[in-house]
Amino acid sequence: MANDLGVDVDLRDNVVTSTVKLVTDDIYPLAIGSNVVRGEVLKLTAGKLSPCLTAEAPFTIALQSIDATTVESKISYMVSGSFMESEATYNDGSITEFRDALRSLNIIGER
C-alpha cells in the first residue's frame, strides 16, 4: 500500500493502529550505517534519521525496514499516529523510556 507520499508501506502487521490518524513523511533520510526495522524508534540528528538510544530524544517510528549500512536511504516514517507498544523496537530500552517523548510528538503508544 502506498502512503500519502506514494511510498510503499506494508500495513499488514500490528505496528500501526487507527486510534490517531496516521500522518507520514519521508523528507529526512536514513543515515549511512543504519539498519532499521519497521516499528523502530528513530532519532533525528543533523537532518538524518538513525536508531534512537534511551539517552537520546526520539523523533519518530520507522514504517519500513531499511538497510542503509552502505548508502543513505529514503525511509517512510510516522509524523503522528498510533502504534502498538508491544510491536515496536526500542533498541537499548523499552517503551517506558520513550512513551512520554513520543506522546509529546503526537505518536501515541497503545497497550
Residue pLDDT, tens place only, 95-104: 999 999 999 9
38 has pLDDT over 80: yes
Give me the domain span that covers residue 43. 16-110
pLDDT of residue 12: 57
CATH number of 58's domain: 2.40.300.10
**Domain membership flag for residue 20:** yes
5 has pLDDT over 90: no
**Domain membership flag for residue 70:** yes
The C-alpha atoms of residue 1 and residue 7 are separated, in whole angstroms, by 8
Domain count for the chain: 1
- Other Cβ atoms closer than 10 A to 56: 19
2 has pLDDT over 50: no
Q: Which of 8, 29, 20, 25 is nearest to 79 (CA)?
A: 25
**Domain membership flag for residue 101:** yes
φ/ψ bin of 39: left (φ > 0), alpha (ψ from -120 to 50), beta (otherwise): left
